[in-house]
Amino acid sequence: MEQPTVNTYTATIYLGFKNAHDNITHSDTMANDICRVYCDKVGLCVTITPTQFVYTGGCEPGCIIGLINYPRFPSEPLIILMRAIELAKLLKTAYKQCRVTIITPDKTIMLSGEIK
């Protein structure tokens, strides 16, 4: 039995569901749909795990979206990171978030800025 291996690389996106403008909390359906369309477009597989963010002054539901270097379809770390950033930007815009965070083995990136 063949057991392909690749160098490990992960990118994890942290996304809250509460709209930054009007405090409307969206469901995970939009994240699932955006991820599905993006994965079909670029040939990717992600995990989507529900989570709860608790912070000073409040809390909100959200999700954790995981990308890995999958041995069946190996990729370079830079490609995985670029896909995570592109997907995070799509989600940030759709959920009207002020910030979305991406964690990799060697850095944490916060996408922030104007909400469209």
Q: What is the pLDDT of residues 66-107, one digit of tens each?
A: 999 999 889 999 999 999 999 999 999 999 999 999 999 999
Render the burial of 12-30: b for 16+ CB within 10 Å, e for the rest: bbbbbbbeeeeeeebebee
Q: Report residue 49: phi and psi, to 5°.
A: -120, 125
Residues 6+ apart with CB under 8 A from 28: 17, 48, 50, 61, 63
Report all structural domains of the chain as residue ranges with CATH numbers, in order of start: 10-111 (3.30.70.260)
pTM of the model: 0.92
For residue 116, pLDDT over 60 is answered with: no
Confidence bin at 115 (pLDDT 50/70/90): low
Distance CA 31, CA 23 (A): 17
In the prediction, which pLDDT does 72 show? Answer: 84
Distance CA 45, CA 22 (A): 32
